[in-house]
């Protein structure tokens, strides 16, 4: 069954690359405290190329976007990231650089049937 999902992940990558664009995902590996010396190592920035599609939320998705306490805010976008070939998955500490603009990931939904990641749907905010 995993061969089927691996092919689906490759298909998702091809389609997103065809209709989207290559951009960059950024994150930071936090420094570590050394218990012997008491020193903290510096944070290590990491980045990787990604294939993405950046979209506005449609009317149905954003129907309650301005209601108090809702998670989708004015200006938020939906970022679809192909999972195939990623060195590391997006996290809530991740930023996506799209056409020179940094977007902070505020929510992530992973499509992962039987343990094979196909795509990540991220809600991003400036």
**pLDDT tens profile 27-68:** 999 888 878 887 888 889 999 999 999 999 887 776 655 554
Tokens of 25: 């995902």
Decide if 52 is inside a domain. yes
Percent share of the chain, pLDDT over 70: 92
Which of 110, 112, 103, 108 is CA-nearest to residue 122? 108
Decide if 64 is inside a domain. yes
Domain range for 78: 2-30+43-125
pTM of the model: 0.83
Is the Cα torsion angle 109, 110, 114, 118 positive or negative in sign? positive
Residue 96 burial (CB count, 10 A): 22
- The pLDDT tens digits of the residues spanning 12-36 come to 889 998 999 999 999 999 888 878 8
Residue 77 burial (CB count, 10 A): 17
Decide if 61 is inside a domain. yes
Decide if 38 is inside a domain. no
Decide if 37 is inside a domain. no
Task: Indicate the pLDDT class of residue 2, thresholds 50, 70 and 90.
Answer: confident
Decide if 59 is inside a domain. yes
Decide if 36 is inside a domain. no
Provide the β-strand partners of residue 45.
Answer: 28
Count how many domains the chain has.
1
User: What CATH number did the domain enclosing 92 receive?
Assistant: 2.40.10
Angle, alpha carbons 118-124-85 (nearest 5°): 30
Decide if 55 is inside a domain. yes
Phi and psi at residue 80, in whole multiples of 5°?
Answer: -100, 120
Residue 65 is predicted with a pLDDT of: 52
Residue 34 is predicted with a pLDDT of: 78
Tokens of 80: 């679809």
């Amino acid at each position: 069954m995993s061969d089927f999902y691996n092919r689906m992940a490759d298909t998702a990558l091809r389609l997103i690359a065809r209709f989207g664009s290559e951009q960059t995902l950024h994150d930071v590996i936090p420094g570590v405290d050394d218990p012997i010396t008491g020193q903290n190592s510096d944070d290590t920035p990491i980045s990787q190329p990604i294939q993405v599609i950046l979209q506005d939320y449609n009317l149905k998705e954003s129907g309650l976007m301005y209601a108090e306490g809702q998670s989708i805010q004015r200006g938020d976008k939906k970022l679809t990231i192909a999972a195939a070939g990623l060195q590391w998955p997006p996290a809530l500490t991740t930023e996506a650089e799209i056409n020179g603009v940094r977007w902070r990931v505020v929510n992530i939904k992973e499509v992962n049937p039987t343990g094979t990641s196909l795509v990540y749907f991220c809600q991003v905010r400036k």
